[in-house]
Amino acid sequence: MKIWNEIPIKENKDKLISIPSCFKFISPHPYYDLGAPYKEKKSIWKLREEVVKRLIKVNDFLKLKNNSLSLLIYDSWRPIEVQKFMFNRAFILECERLDIDASEKDMERYPIVKKNVEKFWAYPSFDDRYPPPHSTGGALDITLADKYGNIINMGSNIDQMDDKSKPDFYNNIDNVDAIIWNDRRKLLKEIMIKFEFVQHPNEWWHFSYGDQLWAWKNKKTYALYGKI
């Protein structure tokens, strides 16, 4: 459990809606392509209505700042079953990296590995008090694309489980690539925060509005979105 999971939730019933086609999306959807158990395969890309409204404003603002760039959505709402699938997969990959022979059934035997995974993947809790951010419809993974819709280099891959994924990792590294990557990350953060999103402390690509992380960062007494 994260510190922000202590924030209570007062669900405001904001609708989960499809993200409009004016946005660019990674294709195919990276988790569906891995076999994640989405039930509605034709309408994976969803967020809360207020989140979509704010994201449209972000996209319009980005065009004013730099019309050669656009937002590229990598992931949005995740059903809890998908969160569980991806968390378990991340655990297995981390075990392989550490040369540990284990399956998802062995997770409690390796608490340090599990803790490492939880830096980047919220535990798939079915408890309504502690929903994974993506399962609220308030969180999304997002990056920048060039004018042709191609993803641009941000200094690490989305879902990369190491220190390079921290938003400020390249802040004090003085080489040409690091400066470029840092500027791109700062731009993404700037435009998202302008419209009241908050950034995950370990992931340059993860932003949210209305969930417990958002409430905690903004010192709100409660979050707006629970599991949906």
Within the chain, strands assigned E span: 16-18, 24-25, 46-48, 70-75, 139-145, 198-199, 206-208
Whole-angstrom Cα distance, residue 189 to residue 198? Answer: 8
- The verdict on whether 203 is a catalytic residue reads yes
Rounded Cα distance, 5 and 128, in Å? 11
Task: Show contacts of 61-66: CB within 8 Å, 24+ apart.
Answer: 61/191, 61/194, 61/195, 62/191, 65/187, 65/191, 66/187
Q: Which residue is catalytic, options 81, 94, 96, 203?
A: 203
Task: Give me the residue label for tokens 């932003």.
Answer: 207
Rounded CA separation 47/187 (Å): 22
How far is it, in rounded angstroms, from Cα 45 to Cα 25?
9
Of the candidates 135, 141, 149, 145, the one whose C-alpha atom is nearest the C-alpha of residue 165 is 141
One-letter amino acid for residue 11 of the chain: E
3-state secondary structure of 143: strand
Residue 52 near residue 20, CB atoms below 8 Å: yes
* Residues classed as catalytic: 203
